Structure 1
């Protein structure tokens, strides 16, 4: 016996929504119960916090001539992954034929004070370039700092499965300073690193690891707490490290022509007709509302359209979910439960700017690395997203002679909490005229970038949430995005939404679901890395399709 196709609505066209559609489509071809999947995306473009721009760096002159404008692209959003640990992402990319577009980057870091009194470079994975021993992290403190960093790092990773969100980064380092041998000896033995536990300077060296390396790095993370790194749960940054940097020798890759291009490739794969798989439809410019009543879900928009669905999965930010989802009075207890969960998630809003303001970088140019992280004074604000990277190194120009030999000024992408951090005259202009681009470049850009050029659109990223912006600023190469703060309340909210999802998925499979509503999105799992979004998407799809029994503890 066959049944009508099960209508599934996915609200949100970022990596979470697209991944949900991928896993449902891949495993949802049961002969007795077909799926019909529709993705709704509020914006014109897919990809959430992703945007690619093209900038003009000046006139390139060669002996052969003629002179030409030197145009480069820059990824302003999510811009790199570690394929050693991003197993699901790599598998999907291989399936859709995208893996060759992931290119190695120059994975190097600098830690510096703005006044130039201190600078350290981590060139462990430098492939092409020059490393100055004067600034090498390996040589710092007579070679004693770098191995201690490894031990402190491994100790924190080993604690992840035994700590609660109340155990903060600050508490961890306080413990390491007060009782270094007790805290660190097991990890040192595991790594085969010899440490003189009787060294009277060891506690001060641990403080240096905290102040010079970890606090600056954590403060630069997109999910950082604006109250400072010390207040964050230890598991927040170190779960990130486990996914982003773990798994042995890293295979760091950047998204050629931007992360948005790969997500558009995934979207194209999803909507390609295939009689063996459930159909997927993607609706853009769909600012919809979700109304949940007992046993019923209705989506509607401001133009009078409405449609019922058998199941709705909201794969948006938590604050957007609160805005678009309404539960009827009959579901008041569920409404209150969800409001408490979603309301526990705080957000920061930040800017990514493409520019040539070299004053953002270390004063000594020899210290410039792919990622440049400022060591701030203890009294300085730790507002997140203050990090600057050299786009030429991130896009690995040393391995691309056509770019590396150009001799033109280097350009940078900075992640800041205020656009005024970058002088406007040093912000680069976006190239908005597609006829100026070589056909090869134009064809390789994300569709959303090309559409913005053709139609003169400004509303990329989350700019629609900003007050009026003058036309001159609109033309600059920047974007506005948001991310949840991964504090203790958010981690608890993630656990609470997992329990909620498991209960609903179980009831749904038993034919007893009174409210067909589930939640995904970056805020629901870890730091919201693409791999974690995919893990969550696969798990939810397995629960929905009965491939895995949801835990009900």
Structure 2
């Protein structure tokens, strides 16, 4: 019986864990991770609260079964428990006092016309128009253009763009306002068509969170894989040769039969010492943006009307003469726990937080989903054909959901599984 091939998996986020899990019975796996823990954006902070431990997620928080089929099946296989999330969304303008949420968006049009100010009436009607026209345009293949251009063509108002739409998109793709307009309109529309008009916070979506935080699934996955773990060991180079792959870290170099690089595209670009022409062409135009995420207890990030707080809260405020938007996740509702302490996770909050309220701060990087990234999806999986170094990450799409499922936990998980399947096919394993 021939020995199992030695495979290095570089990156311990969901893509790397997915690949390693698929290979666990067929290879001897060494998992490299630059952080002192695995999980990547599945990053849970465990806090002591009233004599118990609460697991609070800070990046990947929610999923639903229709839009995350592969990830959901993985959770089922691991025996991971989830919690149903019953909430909605809440918008508030801290300058004007205007606020609205899921309840208002579901009102009859005649009631909105009779009871609400002009700014909200404009948003209400343009939201409906966007989803009606957008669905038709998507099906007629008229949306393969940047979102900003699509909204310009449609004559959408500033109130709709900055008082509603940009807030939803910032939460979904974790990029700032100036980059939202570069997202392909087709990608944005595909997200809403797969969920509902509320997106994150939509009430017709069966959103769920991992019970105990996403660290629960990470721990079970690592136990099932049982790899050689190299934590706090950043990889500095990956070199492919005809007979193997050399992985280099600050502590030295090690030889493997194959490697799966499950890092962000820009990091992968820096790691590969001799990329293939396909790898070079794929990785060259892909960009990332870093967001500042803070877990804290400072309720000043929320609207004054506590009764309106939802799991997803979208704020707008003028800072130094510039309109700034941010997302505030109310973690008590997201994770469905009761506590005398209110916990929040804010994304790119533009004002100072009270220092004594800050629990942890993070810098998370997300792909900038633009026309170049979407265009790359046409042939992206060909990059792994016939190479000893396979690539994966959230810059790949989920094959089950076409090119517009990019940037999500599902996309990353699916790409890791596909990278492992390609390697297993090339190693002669049937059924891979």
TM-score normalised over the length of structure 2: 0.81
Give the counterpart of 1:516 among 383, 388, 391. 388
Instruction: Please name the residue that 2:246 is paired with.
Output: 298
- 1:244/1:17 CA distance change after superposition, 3 Å: farther
The 8 Å contact of residues 9 and 38 in structure 1, kept in 2 or not, is answered as: yes
**1:231-246 correspondence to structure 2 within 5 Å:** 231-242=182-193
Shift of 1:161: 6.3
Whole-angstrom distance in 2 between the partners of 1:258 and 1:409: 18
Match of 2:344 among 378, 403, 412: 412
In the superposition, relative to structure 1, how do residues 160 and 41 fare at CA in structure 2: closer, same or farther (>3 Å)? Answer: farther
1:86-485 aligned at under 5 Å gives the runs 86-98=68-80, 101-123=81-103, 138=107, 139-142=111-114, 149-150=127-128, 152-153=130-131, 155-157=133-135, 159-160=137-138, 163=141, 167-177=145-155, 209-224=160-175, 226-242=177-193, 249-271=204-226, 280-288=227-235, 289-309=237-257, 311-327=258-274, 334=276, 338-375=279-316, 380=322, 386-397=326-337, 403=338, 408-416=340-348, 421-427=352-358, 476-485=359-368
SS class of match (2:187) = helix
Cα pair distance change 1:368/1:314, threshold 3 Å: same
Within 2, Cα distance between the matches of 1:326 and 1:264? 32
The Cα of 1:113 is off from its aligned counterpart by 0.6
SS at 1:221's partner residue?
helix
Superposition deviation, residue 480 in structure 1:
2.2
Once residues 66 and 52 of structure 2 are traced to their aligned partners in structure 1, the CA distance between those partners, rounded to angstroms, is: 34
| Contact residue 119 and residue 367 of structure 1 kept, 8 A | no
Note the alpha carbon deviations across 1:491-512, whole angstroms, 9 max, x for none: 23444543323xxx2xx3xxxx
Native 8 Å contact 2:244 2:388 kept in 1? yes
1:530 paired to 2:402: no
1:305-355 deviation digits (Å, cap 9, x = unpaired)? 41232x22211111221232211xxx7xx36x5345323222221222222
Deviations for 1:387-433, whole angstroms, at most 9, x for unmatched residues? 00212211224xxxxx2xx5x34232211266x63231332xxxxxx
The aligned counterpart of 2:23 is 24
Deviation at 1:216, TM superposition (A): 2.0
Structure 2 residue runs without a partner (length 5+)? 116-120, 398-404, 427-432
* Structure-2 residue corresponding to 1:85: 67
**Distance of 2:244 and 2:46 partners within structure 1:** 45
Question: For residues 83 and 208 of structure 1, do their structure 2 counterparts lie closer, same or farther at Cα, with a shift above 3 Å needed?
Answer: same
CA contact (8 A) 2:12 2:40 kept: yes
**1:224–1:486 Cα contact (<8 Å) kept:** no
> Are the counterparts in 2 of residues 137 and 146 from structure 1 also a CA contact under 8 Å?
no
**1-side partners of 2:183 and 2:105: how far apart?**
29
Bigger fraction of residues in strand: 2
Instruction: Please say if 1:543 is aligned against 2:386.
Output: no
Equivalent-residue separation in structure 2 for 1:77 and 1:392 (angstroms): 15
- Contact 2:396–2:411 (CA<8 Å) still a contact in 1? no
How many residue pairs match? The answer is: 404
CA distance in 2, matches of 1:266, 1:524: 21
Point out the structure with max Rg over C-alpha.
Answer: 1
Structure 1 segments unaligned to the other structure (5+ residues): 58-67, 124-134, 178-202, 272-279, 398-402, 428-475, 509-514, 548-553
Aligned 8 A contact 2:327 2:346 in 1:
yes
